[in-house]
Amino acid sequence: MKDIDLTTLSADDWDEINSPRPEENDFDRVVERAVSRRGFLGGALAFGSGAVAMSAGLLSSTSAARAEGAANRFPFTPIDIATDSAVHVPEGYTSEVLVRWGDPLFSDGEGYDVAEGGPVAGSDRVFGENTDGMELFSYQGHELIAVNHEYTNRKTNLPAAQEGTPASADDVLKLQNLQGVTVMEVAQGENGWSVVVDSPFTRRIHHNTPMEIAGPAAGHDLMKTKADPEGTLSLGTMNNCGSGKTPWGTYLTCEENFNGYFGSTEGDGADLPEQVTAGYSRYGIGADGWGYDYHKHDARFDTAKNPNEPHRVGWIVEIDPTDPDSTPIKHTGLGRFKHENAEVVLSPEGHVVVYMGDDERGEFLYRFVSTGTWAPGGSTEGLLDEGTLFVARFNDDGTGEWLPLTPETTGMASMAEVLIFARMAASAVGATTMDRPEWVAANTQAVEAYCCLTNNKNRGVKPNAGGDETPANGPNPRDTNNYGQIVRWRPSEDNHASDSFDWDLFVMAGNPEVYPTNSYGGSENVTAGNMFNSPDGMAFDSNGLVWIQTDGDDSNEGEFAGQGNNQMLVGDPATGEIARFLTGPNGSEVTGLCWSADKRAMFVGIQHPGGAWPDGAGLPRSSIVVVTRDDGALIG
């Protein structure tokens, strides 16, 4: 394992460190059993501990397209890997930094100095740290970007504190201010794109912003605290990872590793109700937290004093980016888990369908279908709360079903409890354990959706946190999976609200140089020229090409030799072809993607860079870059 550098640690790295799993690795056994990559793509075979029949788990169109010598649809020459501290894009394209952690969003935020650690005052007037999911909204001639700030590097933000451990309520407040969400206006001028400082739309939303709790779990006893005896008003949104966009023009921010912010000043909470402690165990809420130490200075995060506060995070939050005075809404109808993103599509009848991944080893893939329907200009009341939450079961024969989560199907006492403890509900109905579901993206040109399954070293090694066994299965076919794959499904009757689907694998990442003869070499559309590991962010452009961002091992050594820094690639769903478009600075992950209204600019997030990127000196700073074509042509 690499040395741990606290200045370049992703939230997922935190999970590794704070929830360590055994390093047991029965790799040799897997390699012996595994069959050739050509066999994987060529037809039925048995491999993995479950002897899974893979006849349907194929990328059926790849070989055919290659045989015909089809020209690809990518208007650029793919780039090589990189290992340096820079962003690279193909010839004919340019990338420039749009905004960095600590840049002022308001003129009274000027002077905030990240190198000095910055004062508390002003820490909610600047662009937050560790940019993640983002969406662009066109509104009355303005272009607004809503973007997440997933977590904060305590050590760099609190240089005066020992090892970045908060020593005061002010230290905690500063960390809280630098995370959450930014809404900002961007505009193109003579010198390219820039942030409009002091735009009337500018807003920072952080760990103390008031939020309405809506939906079936609102007001339930498990949601009530001393400060909010009604259980309907919470403070803050946190560990905002991926994003979503509703058809009616609002932003969805997704609360992922919320567990790390909580701790207890009075031990392990053994005197709490069994249901609460069982939930703590399943969601990873411990007495020590992940080192943020909020609980020592802010009682809201002390589970000894506020045992229900963790139930009020782990949700999806809706924000109106056009109204800086609006109150964000936590939609409990969408379930509570470690949310990656929220991909919203409409069924032919207008039902709102939301696909959501729970990013933890052996957890699940979910879908919500609204009871009501929406059409442009119609009411949005209740659309993200009144409906049914489902979890996916993937069968090894290439079919699958969405299993409804209700008191009847789960044996749980109420719908509120089903939603608050969605993971336990999903376990109760026998959902398929997955290799860490990250972003889901729906094809803009076909009725199908894709999910990045980033990696899972525990596949075939140990159960998930709920005790569900995790043998290799259809869409998760490799034990000790360090590379990841992308599964896609096509709903029955071309309707995302249908309860059944067919699935296959769009790509299995791997290293064909290190593993030329087995499944760890990846699927046939992975070559020495485009290989990568750990697909994470994903979005379709308006042409139906899928952009894939990675958050993996960028050591460029051993199993990962030849894969270089984290990167962004683009894939063609029709042919399976994949080409490398962008490489990030060493140490970073590439996460978050949206386009300008005219599709001539692409905004890409660079989180936790290493080196001194982008300034060339001083601290590395997470930033958004804007990529354009030198000839001014469309870029997606």
Residues that bind Ca ion (CB under 5 A): 12, 438, 536, 551
Rounded distance, CA 35 to CA 67, Å?
23
CA angle 412, 418, 420 (to 5 degrees): 130
12 binds ligand FEO (CB under 6 A): yes
129 binds ligand FEO (CB under 6 A): no
358 binds ligand FEO (CB under 6 A): no
Min separation Cβ 135 and ligand FEO, Å: 16
Our CB check for ligand FEO shows the closer of 437 and 474 to be 437
Q: Which residues contact 152 (CB under 8 A, 6 or more apart)?
A: 128, 129, 130, 175, 178, 179
256 binds ligand FEO (CB under 6 A): yes
Preceding peptide of 229 cis, ω within 30°: no
356 binds ligand FEO (CB under 6 A): no
Figure out which of the listed residues 8, 9, 11, 621 binds ligand FEO, where binding follows CB under 6 A: 11
320 binds ligand FEO (CB under 6 A): no
H or E, element range at 353: strand 351-358
Rounded distance, CA 506 to CA 615, Å?
37
Min separation Cβ 48 and ligand FEO, Å: 24
Min separation Cβ 12 and Ca ion, Å: 4
Three-state DSSP state, 170: helix
Beta strands in 140-282 (DSSP E): 142-149, 180-189, 192-195, 203-205, 210-214, 233-235, 240-245, 251-255
Min separation Cβ 208 and ligand FEO, Å: 21
- List the structure tokens of 299: 């009682």
Q: Say which entry of ligand FEO, Ca ion, none residue 524 contacts (CB below 5 to 8 A, set by partner kind).
A: none
Our CB check for ligand FEO shows the closer of 223 and 241 to be 241
342 binds ligand FEO (CB under 6 A): no
Min separation Cβ 554 and Ca ion, Å: 12
Our CB check for ligand FEO shows the closer of 12 and 343 to be 12
Rounded distance, CA 218 to CA 508, Å?
40
Residues that contact ligand FEO, how many (by CB under 6 A): 8
241 binds ligand FEO (CB under 6 A): yes
Q: Say which entry of Ca ion, ligand FEO, none residue 135 contacts (CB below 5 to 8 A, set by partner kind).
A: none
Our CB check for ligand FEO shows the closer of 199 and 253 to be 253
340 binds ligand FEO (CB under 6 A): yes
Q: Say which entry of ligand FEO, Ca ion, none residue 81 contacts (CB below 5 to 8 A, set by partner kind).
A: none
34 binds ligand FEO (CB under 6 A): no
The burial class, CB within 10 Å (0-12 / 13-18 / 19+), for 140 is exposed
Residue nearest to Ca ion (CB): 551
| Residue 258 · residue 300 · CB < 8 Å | no
553 binds ligand FEO (CB under 6 A): no
User: 428 to 447, contacts with ligand FEO by CB under 6 A?
Assistant: 438
Q: Say which entry of ligand FEO, Ca ion, none residue 147 contacts (CB below 5 to 8 A, set by partner kind).
A: none
Q: Say which entry of ligand FEO, Ca ion, none residue 11 contacts (CB below 5 to 8 A, set by partner kind).
A: ligand FEO
359 binds ligand FEO (CB under 6 A): yes
Residue by residue, DSSP assigns 96-117 as EEEEETT-BSSGGGTT--TTTT
User: 137 to 176, contacts with ligand FEO by CB under 6 A?
Assistant: 150
| Residue 271 · residue 368 · CB < 8 Å | no
- List the structure tokens of 143: 């272009």
Our CB check for Ca ion shows the closer of 432 and 550 to be 550
Our CB check for ligand FEO shows the closer of 103 and 150 to be 150
Alpha helix segments (H runs only) across 406-541: 407-410, 415-420, 422-428
Rounded distance, CA 407 to CA 98, Å?
48
Our CB check for Ca ion shows the closer of 518 and 567 to be 567
Rounded distance, CA 134 to CA 594, Å?
6
Our CB check for ligand FEO shows the closer of 586 and 607 to be 607
Q: For residue 126, report the phi and psi dihedrals to the nearest 5 degrees.
A: -125, 165
> Can you name the residues that pair with 491 across neighbouring β-strands?
501
| Residue 315 · residue 332 · CB < 8 Å | yes
479 binds ligand FEO (CB under 6 A): no
> Can you name the residues that pair with 507 across neighbouring β-strands?
486
Could you list the residues that contact ligand FEO (CB under 6 A)? 11-12, 150, 241, 256, 340, 359, 438
